[in-house]
Structure 1
Amino acid sequence: MSEPDPQELGAEVVSGLVATNDDRLEMINAEYTNLCRDLNMDRQTELQGYETYLEVSQRCSMEGTASHWMCCAIYTACRRTSTPTVTGQNAVVKGNCVSLNNLLRCCKMSIYEFKTKIKQWCDMANLPQEFVNEIEDLDRKFSITFMLHKRFRIIMDMIFSCPPNEKKHSKYISLHGNHAHGKCSYIKLDDICWRLFLCAKNQKPSNTVDLVTSFNLMICCIDLIYNNVLAEKRTDLINPKFEGLPSNWTELDFRHNPHCILSNFCDMTEEAKAMKATTFRQIMSSFFQASTIYGNKDTMLGLLANENFERNLKSLNISYEQYVLSVGEFDERILSAYDAGEHTALNDQSLRPPVTPLTRKQDLPAQPAMAGDKFEPVHNATTNVKQLSAFGRITEPTDFVKQAGEEVIAKLLSIIEEIEQKFLAKYPSTEAKSRFQLAKSFFFYLLDQILQAEIRNKPDIDLKRLLVQKVSLVIFNITLMACCVELVLEAYKTELKFPWVLDCFSISAFEFQKIIEIVVRHGSHEGCLNRSLIKHLNSIEETCLERLAWARNSTVWDMIASAQLPLPTWLMVNLDRAAGALQIFLRKVYLLGWLRIQKLCSELSLCEKTPESIWHIFEHSITHETDLMKDRHLDQNIMCAIYIYIRVKRMEDPKFSDIMRAYRNQPQAVNSVYREVFMDINEDGEPKVNDIIHFYNHAYVPLMRQFVIDYLNVTPDASGRASDLQLSPHPKERAAQPKKVTQSHSLFVSQMSKNEIQQSPNQMVYSFCRSPAKDLQAMNEKVRGGKRMLSFGDEPGLGGVVEAKRQLISQVKAVMDDPDLQSAEQQPAVTTEGGVGGEGGEQET
């Protein structure tokens, strides 16, 4: 096979140039002008938007409806201008007084389509990062509200009912509440409750930066409206099946007393009640003072009285409209104005659980028994917070940790105090102190668990000496505390996303990634870290390994500079029992790279031997051409490794565009990975970026070309290996740990090879699709102390055990259907507790 010419290795340049003739340009101009007239836009903003639209259309291929891209251009132009208000005091309105919802209506564009297109527009128009951050905030805020509305709808239907003479699902004629005066109808009741929540959450935005707090505020609003309905004796609006009703609510002499129903809907009742007594009351007091609502300000009743209801609804609408125009956000009243079915794409998006990272999937806890149900974000968040709150009773280091001595503990508490002050200074919420206290409680718990494990692994070492040594490690304490803070922020679903904690506490990504596996290992005991929180930690560990730890200012580069080059291969770091921090880091990077190579090759339908070859190319780029990773992303080098293999092999397909398309199906994929690849530093010290094609042609190929040609053109020896090149085998994951089916049964599901099953004399094993029913019967008798419980229906006398059987089978099936547990070469089996063995596999700290 002859060597390919250097020119042959170049990637095709994906040109986005669009040829526009005069007629087409005239049609575009006419459509754009008519759109701006409908929106009553000023001429200057109109021209700015049109110039940007034309400039982007000449550089990029705009797929889809032209008016949707015009919508993005207009929105961007409006958001980058402001209008002074008549209120004075230097107040301005963002968005040029153009309502986003009105813009979407004129462009016949759904909210989901806008959220998708505007992110692409930010890339294509090279908008500043500040504006990109605004778009991300807009997306996050609306996503939280959308998820809350789905929960709002469920709760309202539980409490209230539509009278027979009303149409429950009638759409609103308008969003302004201009309806006939009279008693509060069911539809208007829904309307005023949702408006009250929207205005309340915008009154103190710093108090609603997370999903759980916003949910608590929402149920406070529902609780208030419910009490107003009871006070008005509107029994026609009450759902008689609601379990939270007072026993005498239907009697003629019923007199309303304050009746709290928060506990009917909230797992975190105490936190919700605290909000009701403080923040919510303050917000309502401000509403009464500003005449945003009318009624009895002391009892907060009378809101639905005939003389107050209509003006309350109108006033809340006006207040909310002023807010929306001032900040240029979605008008979230639209959620109550339309059926949920009209937001199908948003429904699918919000009910999709977070993606599962590729690494350590085998160690994730089993799916809950109700895994077949759709993911419910609000319930998931409150469950996470509740689980972490269980450790809130721990307010100081445990007695075991205190054995390190008063001086060491005093130093530890001083470090925590310093971290807390940094957090309180940067966390934008009055809830900051309670959030940090929860993180601190979990920190004390984890510290105890980690140190107890150290003692178990080193039984001969002096206890106090070990405790003093470990507790005195400053960077360990800081990163562990930061990780606990990250878990609390994730549990509450705040707007502050990783790597915010790194910036807050001035921690390097390289140091932070070290603590994650330790936290996962010791925090998953007793169920304190559930599946979603562990997935989150795995995801941010991957973020550190793939990108953050390779930043130009990372400590990794100092370690590389002092290391013997080339860097060690996977085989070398895997066999090195005395591996240092750099070796362990590389071990994780290699495994992550291999898993992503496998997935991409599978998406591209490349033959089964191809991933191994691409692995060798990728590993060489890390060991010998390490600078290819500086300020760059692991996935950029993986995609280039795949493509240079394809070009050297002279394959017709896939094209680089196919690789990018396949990459978008990976759980970690973001557009910026292939749109913005670091190239150089300009004269002003700012990074210069270009697309991945440019990076491949001008940076990757010159450094990797000769190795790839030599590697792919050498003659393999008898074993099939390239004999004259030092090649390392691809990484292998540890075997999956057995997963417990339920907390009430000592049963585990695991993947076991035939040999493992045959070599388990101390376990009772039932192998699906292979074992006879008597094996399951024997397992039942052991678990139940001799009582029969389950069968697979191949014997008489099932009686009342059928339902129990179905429940356990569904629980086992939830685990078996878990894609993280699947393996083509292994056999699923259920085992009783007792012979499962230890943690298995080496986990480095």
Structure 2
Amino acid sequence: MGLSEEGEEQLNRKHLDLCNKLNLDSDTIRTSWDNFKTINKNFVLEGDSLHWLGCSIYVASRGVETPTVGSSIVKGNCINLTSLLRHSNLSFAQFFCKINKWAEMAQLPEDFLNKITHLKDNFGVAYSTFKEYYPIFSKIFIPPSPQDLEQKHHRNRKQRPVPCNSAKVFEFIWNLFITLKGGDTQYCTELIKSFHLLYACVDLAFKNALFAERRDLLNPQFELLPSDWTDASFLAPTEAPCLISYLCKSPSMLTVAMHMKVYELKGMITRLIKNKTLAADQKTLTGLFNRDVFEQNFKNVTNTYETQLLNKGDFDERIFLAEYRRQLLEQQSNMTTIRSLPYCDSGENGVPESPRTTGMVTPRGGDTPLTGRSFLGPREADMTPLSIDRNTTQKITRLHNMLNNRSPAPSEALLQLFQSCQKDPLAKVQNVVKTLGDKFVCAYTLNNPQTEDEAKNRLQIGITLFYKLIETILQNEKNIRNDISALVEKELFYQSMFTCCLEIVIFSYSSSKKFPWILDALDMEPIHFVKVIELIVRSKDQHSRDLIKHLNKIEETVLESLVWKSSSQIWDIIAISEQSMPKFEDTALPGHLLYNEQNSNRRIQNSDSNTDTPSPGPSATDCFQSPVTAHSTNVSRQLFPTMQAGQPLLQTQTHLVITDKDGNRKMIPVIDGDKLSQQQAQQQPTTTEQPQSTAPKKTGSLSIIFRKFYNLAGVRMDHLCSNLGLTDVDFKRKIWTVFEHSVRNTDLIKDRHLDQLLMCAVYVICKVTGSSLKFQDIMKFYREQPQSVSDVYRDVLLVREKVEPDGIITPATRSDLIYFYNSIYVEAMQNFAVKFRSSVQNTSLLLSPLPAIKRDLVSPSVQVTGNVFVKPLESPSPASGSSFNYYFSRSPSKDLKDINKLVNSGVTGKRLLIDGDTDYPGSKRISNRKLQSLVEERRNQNTE
């Protein structure tokens, strides 16, 4: 079923009309129509058919090899994307949304998806840069007047060209900027570099106007103009004032911006002068605005840009000029800001009309991962197209504020920490910084040697951040244990920290080098890199939400796929340990196991979990200790009470274990003994599983990795099952048991993705239990998860690459997830999966416990004021001596009055209700009759 309201003949006429407007060749017309018919036959194309026809034409045009100016051959037939969107009635936001859906339906190759990503990044950068451009221009130059534009709009060919007025200079600077920017892809995708290039172009134009004494161009109120600028006796200075320090507000970026002006821009303009594109003095770069050469300079720059545009097939960045012109003519007054860019009806003299751009797409990386949300701080302003530039600048500012003018060297406090250890690791640390720093610069400049200074600048910031975070983490570790020698002597710890610090710098500067580029550049193993992410997030520094989300996303990427590659060291570590992969039950922390429905909505509080603050998590020493460490069961028996067989921990634990900084353990009772006896008498255990230990059965750095992996899988499975309506705990435990078996007892996870095995586990249990759920339904709800990508179910490994004894290489074969399930997964799992059939009575089959999911990840607490929070009843927080709790339809009115008194006066009172209690303290008990009366009274109030 396709666009049923329109017949094929009507759609064909629309297609031909669109192709004629774009002046397409016959091959592109035929290919695009065939592709559209195929997609329209197999999928439901909702919305305007013209939008989908435009997508089909764009895809077909990208597959054509076309000779371009010169002797080169490019991919694509040089279609003007801006014209295509305008004639297809597509905004840029709609185009990026539709073309991604089209690529998924047509299963287009990765290079096409990369092209779309580049277009999306380029559009966001260009939009944000133009937003910055007009305010800068209006401070330095006389703002263009509507009269200048009207004169330009109405002149005919017989009239003389418009002289070099403010409006023409405004367009010339932008055309020069986008021409220079188009010569290097980094300027198109890195906002900061784009800003610096714009600053340099404006500085060049200011210098030319000043030396030419163009008082009709420069704003007389501009503060950097010489004091005698308006005098008749004015003489141009030998050196023009530098605008870079004026425009570049951040001192940390001034050096990079100055390098752009002195070296990069000068080289670019010199090349344009040499090839006759610009007429100017090659030594001083002046004379661009001379009346006898300006018009030709303007035309040459415009023609150069149009040539670039045809060679690359990108959108025309002059649309912003056309939109600016339209708005200025409409307002007929001084414009202080550029609003969102709607449809433009007029474009002439080479400036194209603009497709509608309202509802622009937001930058990538806006989705919050399902895990790690407890580490996020207060929500910052939402990312909008108007704040892309501001957000990038804020990230850099936060980074430099965190460094607080530190130097790229260890501080006195860090040196003292090193010297307090048995062996001073300073030489080892410096060697790591030198070795990895050289690798970083080499990899950064591999394809562009001109970025060496930029690479060194990023490196210096990374080194400074490295020493700061090392100091913070070691100080935290010192508070936990007196002797930190075991940690400071591990070179791997410093290598992982330094790699992560460089990744933070790259992210803060919005670099085009996306993760896992840094791992490949520094030859860092993902399994070691992931160990330091939580340590950095938990450090005392206040990281931004964007950075925490980025680091959390990186951690998920490593755990879901990178760590399971054939080349990963995890396989060697498992082999050396001579033990099988651990179960989740073996690595789980106390209170993190879920056995049945009775404890599905309850959570135990212990020394490793807290709802108000993120879990303390493993220490740095734990993360970098030996891969596998056996847990002492003797100590466990001495420290914790004995539980009956099959009794879940969440119903029986009576004490918490707290370890102080000296390593001493103390037990603190958390449940009244009489109340516990009553609960045990009223509620007999119904499960047959062995109780979980109060500490992980297996510890060590490898167990920490598996714990994180299983917790991540548990969160995603819970989210998927909830959307699919699979709420029964026993049913989810069957899914979890199958998933855990596929990871531990087969090689299905090797070179594959966590989500692939998870979706297969959900489907196989539905299949053997007689459920009518389809695989397409599972994939549909998987796509709603923030980490989902189409490659997970479109591109699954079937058979690995194999090298025959004679040296012939058999390439790997890949297909979609359903084919993988039928041909690979079923064969590997069928003997185990059939045990879960409803008709099979298998009393010896034990289901694995589920990871206990923190429900407050979905409904977090909201701070009202001070220490007053509102939390959902499903995820109550542990009470403390300084908090109040009020349960609707349960608590007495006095509790609410006490809370109101606290809010109004700021005086902290004593706790009245213990979180999780089913009864009130003895001194505050309320009879059932009085409580029932209160409930009825509130019900009557609600119905009135």
Name the TM tier (shorter chain): 0.7 to 0.9
Match of 1:166 in 2: 147
- Shift of residue 315, structure 1, vs aligned partner: 1.7
Which of the numbers 120, 124, 130 marks the counterpart of 1:149? 130
Match of 1:632 in 2: 752
Whichever residue aligns with residue 193 of structure 1, its letter is: I
Match of 1:310 in 2: 295
Match of 1:341 in 2: 342
Match of 1:451 in 2: 474
CA distance in 1, matches of 2:817, 2:169: 54
CA distance in 2, matches of 1:106, 1:145: 22
8 Å Cα contact 1:402/1:409 also seen in 2: yes
- Pick which of 552-561 and 529-538 moved more: 552-561
Give runs of aligned pairs for residues 178-197 of structure 1, distance below 5 A.
Answer: 181-184=161-164, 187-197=167-177
Secondary structure of the equivalent of 1:526? coil
Are residues 112 and 746 of structure 1, via their aligned partners in 2, closer, same or farther at CA, if it must alter by over 3 Å?
closer
Whichever residue aligns with residue 271 of structure 1, its letter is: V
CA distance in 2, matches of 1:611, 1:159: 69
Are residues 548 and 750 of structure 1, via their aligned partners in 2, closer, same or farther at CA, if it must alter by over 3 Å?
farther
Give runs of aligned pairs for residues 513-662 of structure 1, distance below 5 A.
Answer: 513-522=530-539, 525-527=540-542, 529-561=543-575, 564-565=579-580, 567-570=582-585, 572-574=587-589, 575-576=695-696, 578-607=698-727, 612-613=732-733, 616-617=736-737, 619-652=739-772, 655-662=774-781
Whichever residue aligns with residue 696 of structure 2, its letter is: D
Whichever residue aligns with residue 579 of structure 1, its letter is: T
CA-based RMSD of the aligned residues comes to: 4.9
CA distance in 1, matches of 2:227, 2:728: 69
Secondary structure of the equivalent of 2:799? strand
CA distance in 2, matches of 1:178, 1:114: 40
Match of 1:796 in 2: none
Are residues 248 and 181 of structure 1, via their aligned partners in 2, closer, same or farther at CA, if it must alter by over 3 Å?
same
Which of the numbers 264, 276, 294 marks the counterpart of 2:261? 276
Match of 2:651 in 1: none
CA distance in 1, matches of 2:160, 2:709: 66
CA distance in 2, matches of 1:101, 1:145: 14
Secondary structure of the equivalent of 1:627? coil
Are residues 144 and 676 of structure 1, via their aligned partners in 2, closer, same or farther at CA, if it must alter by over 3 Å?
same
Are residues 706 and 505 of structure 1, via their aligned partners in 2, closer, same or farther at CA, if it must alter by over 3 Å?
same
CA distance in 1, matches of 2:720, 2:150: 46
CA distance in 2, matches of 1:288, 1:32: 44
- Shift of residue 484, structure 1, vs aligned partner: 1.4
Match of 2:192 in 1: 212
Secondary structure of the equivalent of 2:147? coil
Which of the numbers 60, 85, 103 marks the counterpart of 1:74? 60
8 Å Cα contact 2:587/2:697 also seen in 1: no
State the structure with bigger RCO (CA 8 A, min sep 6), 1 or 2. 1
8 Å Cα contact 2:125/2:189 also seen in 1: no
- Shift of residue 689, structure 1, vs aligned partner: 1.8
Match of 2:249 in 1: 266
Match of 1:678 in 2: 797
Give runs of aligned pairs for residues 92-107 of structure 1, distance below 5 A.
Answer: 92-105=73-86
CA distance in 2, matches of 1:618, 1:161: 71
Are residues 82 and 351 of structure 1, via their aligned partners in 2, closer, same or farther at CA, if it must alter by over 3 Å?
closer
Match of 1:400 in 2: 416
Are residues 401 and 33 of structure 1, via their aligned partners in 2, closer, same or farther at CA, if it must alter by over 3 Å?
farther
- Shift of residue 37, structure 1, vs aligned partner: 6.0
1:433 and 2:456 aligned: yes
- Shift of residue 442, structure 1, vs aligned partner: 1.3
Match of 1:494 in 2: 511
8 Å Cα contact 1:549/1:556 also seen in 2: yes
- Shift of residue 560, structure 1, vs aligned partner: 4.5
Are residues 424 and 297 of structure 1, via their aligned partners in 2, closer, same or farther at CA, if it must alter by over 3 Å?
same
Whichever residue aligns with residue 688 of structure 1, its letter is: T
Secondary structure of the equivalent of 1:726? coil
8 Å Cα contact 1:648/1:708 also seen in 2: yes
CA distance in 2, matches of 1:611, 1:517: 32
CA distance in 2, matches of 1:169, 1:715: 84
- Pick which of 284-293 and 296-305 moved more: 296-305
1:356 and 2:385 aligned: no
Give runs of aligned pairs for residues 711-730 of structure 1, distance below 5 A.
Answer: 711=836, 713=838, 724-730=845-851
Whichever residue aligns with residue 400 of structure 1, its letter is: Q
1:561-582 per-residue CA deviation (whole Å, 9 max, x = no partner) reads 5554474134644331651233
CA distance in 1, matches of 2:222, 2:391: 24
- Shift of residue 532, structure 1, vs aligned partner: 1.0
1:130-165 per-residue CA deviation (whole Å, 9 max, x = no partner) reads 554444444433433333333335545666675664
Give runs of aligned pairs for residues 288-307 of structure 1, distance below 5 A.
Answer: 288-295=273-280, 300=285, 302-307=287-292
1:83 and 2:67 aligned: yes
Whichever residue aligns with residue 713 of structure 2, its letter is: G
1:578-602 per-residue CA deviation (whole Å, 9 max, x = no partner) reads 5123321221112112222232334
Are residues 611 and 200 of structure 1, via their aligned partners in 2, closer, same or farther at CA, if it must alter by over 3 Å?
farther
CA distance in 2, matches of 1:74, 1:593: 39
CA distance in 1, matches of 2:443, 2:466: 20
8 Å Cα contact 1:502/1:508 also seen in 2: yes
8 Å Cα contact 2:862/2:871 also seen in 1: no
- Shift of residue 521, structure 1, vs aligned partner: 1.9
CA distance in 2, matches of 1:604, 1:456: 46
CA distance in 2, matches of 1:359, 1:179: 66
- Shift of residue 116, structure 1, vs aligned partner: 4.0
Are residues 128 and 301 of structure 1, via their aligned partners in 2, closer, same or farther at CA, if it must alter by over 3 Å?
same
Which of the numbers 311, 315, 330 marks the counterpart of 2:315? 330
Secondary structure of the equivalent of 1:166? helix
Are residues 367 and 239 of structure 1, via their aligned partners in 2, closer, same or farther at CA, if it must alter by over 3 Å?
farther
CA distance in 2, matches of 1:303, 1:727: 75
Match of 1:819 in 2: none
Match of 1:9 in 2: none
In structure 1, the gaps of 5 or more residues are 1-15, 783-823, 827-845
Are residues 578 and 735 of structure 1, via their aligned partners in 2, closer, same or farther at CA, if it must alter by over 3 Å?
farther
- Shift of residue 478, structure 1, vs aligned partner: 2.1
Whichever residue aligns with residue 75 of structure 1, its letter is: S
Aligned-pair identity (%): 29
Q: Provide the TM-score with structure 1 as the length reference.
A: 0.74
Whichever residue aligns with residue 728 of structure 1, its letter is: P
Secondary structure of the equivalent of 1:678? strand
Give runs of aligned pairs for residues 663-674 of structure 1, distance below 5 A.
Answer: 663-674=782-793
- Pick which of 668-677 and 66-75 moved more: 66-75
- Shift of residue 317, structure 1, vs aligned partner: 0.9
- Shift of residue 505, structure 1, vs aligned partner: 1.7
8 Å Cα contact 1:71/1:104 also seen in 2: no
1:413-442 per-residue CA deviation (whole Å, 9 max, x = no partner) reads 233322223222221423112112221221
- Shift of residue 486, structure 1, vs aligned partner: 1.1
Match of 1:689 in 2: 814
Match of 2:334 in 1: none
- Shift of residue 675, structure 1, vs aligned partner: 1.4
CA distance in 1, matches of 2:835, 2:459: 56
Are residues 738 and 727 of structure 1, via their aligned partners in 2, closer, same or farther at CA, if it must alter by over 3 Å?
closer
